[in-house]
Each structure stands twice: as C-alpha cells, then as structure tokens.
Amino acid sequence: GGIDRDMAKSVELARGEYVWLFSADDWIAEGALKRVLDEILLGLDLYLCGFTLCDFEMNPQKPHPILDAPDGSVYDLGDPRDRRGFFERGLTTTAFFSFMSSLVIRKEKWDSAKMDDTFVGSCWDHVARMFRLIPGGLRVKYLSGTYLLKRDDNDSFSERGIARRVGIAIEGYHRLANTFFGTQSAEALHIRRVLKNEYPLLNLLYIKSRTSEAHIPGDMEYLDGLVAKLYIDGQPADHLRRLLFRLAPPFALRPAEKAYKFARKFLPLP
C-alpha cells in the first residue's frame, strides 16, 4: 500500500493515547522516552521533537535544524498570529512535519483527520493530515535537543534516481502549500523558503552532476524543471542561483567538488 497507507495503518492499530512512529533506521535517544512521557501529560495535540543526524554506522554527526525557536515553545496553528510566528521560524520542512519520526501525535487528533486519497502515494499524506487539522486548531510544542538518532545516507526513495528523489520533496511540498494555504499565502512563501534551505545551490550542483552521470532519459530536463520551481518566487538571489545552475557544466562539477574537499583540509572553508 506504500508508505502513506503503511503509516496510516500503523496509527490505526495503535491503542495508546499518543503515537510515535519510528522507521527501521531511527534509534530513540537515551532518556527520550521518559521526557516524552512527561511532556504528553500536558495533553497537547502534537510534539515536534529534535533529532541528531548520524552516519551510516549511527555515529552522531550534527543536530538537524528544525525551528528557530526556544525549547518548549507552544503554538496553536489554528490561531493566525501563532501560525505566522511558527511558519516564520521554520528552518527545514521538518518544521512542517515532513519527518514522521519527529512527531508525537495525539491519536484522537490524528483520527479526526480522515485519510484523503488526494495525497496517498505522494509520501506526504501524514503532512496533509496535519495541515487539514490546522483550521480547527492544532496545538504544537517544539522540543529541541535530541530525542532520536536518524541514519543519514540510506535513502530507500532513491531507486528511480536522485533527481526523482529530490522531486518528491520539492513537488510534494509545493503541492501541499498550494492546496492548503494558496500559492501567494505567507505560509506557502515560508514553505518555499525552507525548501531552498534544504536544497542550496551547492547541493543542486552535486545533484546535477550525479544526474548527468546516471544517464537516465529525461532526468536532466526534469531536474531543470525542479530548479525552476524551487526558485519560482523570482527574488534577485533566485535569478542568480538559477542562472548559475543552468550555466554550470556537469562534467566540471565532480572535479570541482574533489578540489573543494581537498582545499577544506587546509583552508577555513564552509
């Protein structure tokens, strides 16, 4: 049934007051369960938990940015002022519920937003559920720190190539933003902003190189379309990044990447 139906079925089978789903690649952090059990005594709808990115061997690397807000911040997304503040502080799509393992959701609240086949198969039906709940009120508490460990560099969604993998996020979140908030809304603007945070120009150039090397018919054109969508707001920086992406020759990107990594050993480069 795909990941959307699998997640929905898992929550349906749960019998607890709250549900916290983990994939096979996620580890709960030491002490996190007790902290979450203490938090849910407050009875809020959703807890957005921080996590640490790890390498393939699960060695911790760095905390994943989610929200530019103090630990314990609470927002009722049904309130326009709270929602505006929440969306303004988003750093990645994780703030907008993309990573299911960072969400501790009250089951009754989840169940009140029935599955809508519109987003089934997109990998984002759980996000659509959260957005669908907002008009009636969705009380979210942000818990920074490390509540789980996430294995990086192990992506089961890359089977169709890296360009199609990137498209799941870019196309999916554009569609979510337009459907639930409207293309010109402040919420949609901030969703597009965090997508640009997640896919900075250097990453896009790396993806361009990998896509070129893969020789999958139609993928370079598809990637060009994704970049156009990513920079659709037309800000001066958007025009510049899109131009640089278009002009960068794929054959030169991999040697440039190797040279950059070598230079980082000796120079204070980002």
Question: What value does the mean pLDDT of the chain take?
Answer: 91
If pLDDT is split at 50, 70 and 90, which confidence band does 71 have?
A: very high
Question: pLDDT category, 23, cuts 50, 70, 90?
Answer: confident
Tokens coding 262:
């070598």
Helix ranges (DSSP H) in the chain: 2-13, 32-39, 80-88, 107-112, 125-133, 162-180, 186-198, 201-214, 219-230, 236-247, 250-264
Confidence of residue 261 (pLDDT cuts 50, 70, 90): low
- Percentage of the chain exceeding pLDDT 90: 76
Residue whose C-alpha is closest to residue 128's, from 136, 116, 112, 111: 116
Q: How confident is the model at residue 251 (pLDDT cuts 50, 70, 90)?
A: confident
Count of alpha carbons within 13 angstroms of residue 167, beta-carbon side = 17
**Band (74; pLDDT cuts 50, 70, 90):** very high
Tally Cβ neighbours within 10 Å of residue 201: 17
Question: Which region among 78-87, 103-112, 206-215 has the lowest average model confidence (pLDDT)?
Answer: 206-215
Instruction: Please report which confidence band the pLDDT of residue 249 belongs to, taking 50, 70 and 90 as the band edges.
Output: confident
Domain residue ranges of the chain, discontinuous segments joined by +: 2-151, 162-253
Q: How far apart are CA 157 and CA 153, in angstroms?
A: 11
- Reported as a single tens digit per residue, the pLDDT across 155-206 is 655 667 899 999 999 999 999 999 999 999 999 999 999 999 999 998 999 9
CATH architecture of 2-151: Alpha-Beta Complex (3.90)
Give the mean model confidence (pLDDT) for residues 41-68.
Answer: 96
